């Protein structure tokens, strides 16, 4: 069903769950956009903090149409975005996390990038850390050969090293734009992922199908990192690990998938060394108790992935007809966008 009464060119989707004040700031940043014509749809995942009332009140004097989809329960990031993406026939769909605030030229810059060529199906933003905008959160994504991914430039001081428009592997889902034609070709988010690595799965699936991603430094947002579950959440770590495995099983070429265990052991070893020095992901889990909690969360993620592997392999087989790149080509693409082991272990999601 089309949520909108007329054909529009650009829709911005914001998914929200009990983050009313962050949502308020997010919507205020969209109200300041220089883009000439777009609409906003907020999908609220069963919030109990008055978020829906805020949206309805804000819509009364909002400079562009602001629409609300209300879910009675938390359906997760993937399902909520799919709801909005396929409720409109807009040519372009942008995503902005409720914990992100966009600079005024953000949306226009993304549209300019994605329209450069017809085979560009995704556009990536320059995402800065909200608390310290001199520091980079991510400028597109890199990946390790075991399936763990990390933002390009994550944690680095921004001194212009990513201030050029260029191709990247995929955009971060907190601030991205997708072409309607690409979504119709490959589908939306895999809802079995629920949250985390979902943008990686959609992006890599689109790359298999021959679509490209362009990063533009002019599309700037500031992001509150880890605001959904918290950087020290054990559940967050479980979902990241579970979905890493499912991503690899579903989309990695067999030549990399067979070597997954060796790459995983290398990453664990590097992560343990980083933890000893209180660096990387483990710094969010202080003390021996915190490290034990993190270790158990990782094991739980692996355990949750195992029973899902048969269904994931069936999905892999169903995607064969969509693949326009060979296994060798996708392997080359992944390794060209590989994150180094040290950088991976000493940075954090």
> How many whole angstroms separate alpha carbon 298 and alpha carbon 291?
11
pLDDT at residue 226 greater than cutoff 70: no
Domains contained in the chain, CATH given: 10-223 (3.90.550.10), 234-346 (no CATH)
Residue 4: the pLDDT is 45
Higher pLDDT, residue 88 or 28: 28
Share of the chain above pLDDT 70, in %: 91
Per residue in 47-63, pLDDT (tens digit) is: 999 999 999 999 999 99
- For the whole prediction, is pTM greater than 0.85? yes
Q: State the alpha helices, DSSP H only, in 209-284.
A: 234-251, 254-257, 260-276
Higher pLDDT, residue 336 or 344: 336
b/e 292-304 (16+ beta carbons within 10 angstroms → b): ebbbebbebbeeb
For 119, 127, 160, 306, the CA distances from 157, given in Å and listed in that order, are 32, 12, 9, 39
Residue 176: the pLDDT is 98
**Residue 18: pLDDT band by 50, 70, 90 thresholds?**
very high
Mean pLDDT for the chain overall: 91
Interval 266-279 mean pLDDT: 76
Highest-confidence range of 88-92, 196-200, 228-232, 309-313, by mean pLDDT?
A: 309-313
**Residue 234: pLDDT band by 50, 70, 90 thresholds?**
confident
Residue 349: the pLDDT is 58
Interval 68-79 mean pLDDT: 93
Residue 196: the pLDDT is 87
Higher pLDDT, residue 307 or 228: 307
Collapse the DSSP code of 52 into the 3-class scheme (helix H, G, I; strand E, B; otherwise coil) and give the result: helix
**Residue 228: pLDDT band by 50, 70, 90 thresholds?**
low
Per residue in 293-321, pLDDT (tens digit) is: 888 889 999 999 999 999 999 999 999 99
Residue 2: the pLDDT is 44
The distance from CA 149 to its chain's CA centroid, rounded to whole angstroms, is: 10
Residue 7: the pLDDT is 58
Residue 294: the pLDDT is 81
Residue 5: the pLDDT is 42
Q: Which residues pair with 170 in a beta bridge?
A: none
């Amino acid at each position: 069903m089309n949520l909108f009464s007329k054909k529009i060119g650009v829709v911005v989707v914001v998914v929200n769950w009990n983050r009313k004040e962050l949502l308020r700031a997010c919507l205020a940043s969209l109200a300041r956009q220089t883009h000439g014509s777009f609409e906003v749809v907020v999908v609220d995942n069963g919030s109990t903090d008055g978020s829906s009332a805020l949206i309805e009140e804000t819509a009364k004097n909002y400079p562009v149409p602001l629409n609300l989809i209300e879910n009675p329960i938390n359906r997760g990031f993937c399902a909520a975005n799919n709801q909005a993406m396929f409720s409109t026939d807009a040519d372009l769909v942008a995503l902005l996390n409720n914990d992100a605030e966009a600079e005024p030229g953000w949306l226009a810059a993304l549209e300019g990038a994605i329209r450069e060529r017809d085979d560009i199906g995704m556009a990536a933003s320059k995402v800065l850390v909200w608390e310290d905008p001199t520091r980079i959160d991510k400028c597109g994504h890199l990946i390790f050969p075991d399936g763990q991914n990390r933002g390009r430039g994550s944690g680095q001081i921004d001194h212009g090293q990513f201030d050029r428009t260029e191709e990247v592997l995929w955009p971060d889902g907190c601030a991205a734009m997708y072409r309607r034609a690409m979504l119709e070709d490959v589908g939306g988010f895999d809802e079995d992922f629920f949250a985390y690595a979902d943008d990686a799965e959609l992006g890599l699936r689109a790359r298999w199908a021959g679509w490209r991603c362009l990063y533009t430094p002019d599309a700037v947002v500031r992001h509150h990192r880890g605001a959904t579950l918290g950087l020290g959440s054990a559940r967050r770590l479980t979902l990241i690990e579970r979905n890493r495995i499912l991503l690899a099983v579903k989309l990695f070429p067999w030549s990399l998938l067979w070597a997954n265990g060796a790459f995983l052991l290398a990453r664990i070893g590097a992560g343990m060394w980083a933890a000893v020095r209180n660096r990387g992901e483990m710094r969010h889990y202080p003390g021996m108790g915190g490290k034990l909690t993190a270790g158990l969360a990782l094991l739980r993620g692996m355990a949750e992935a195992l029973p899902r592997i048969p269904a994931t392999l069936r999905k892999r087989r169903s995607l064969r007809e969509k693949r326009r790149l060979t296994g060798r080509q996708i392997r080359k693409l992944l390794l060209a966008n590989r994150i180094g082991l040290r950088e991976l272990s000493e940075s954090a999601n």
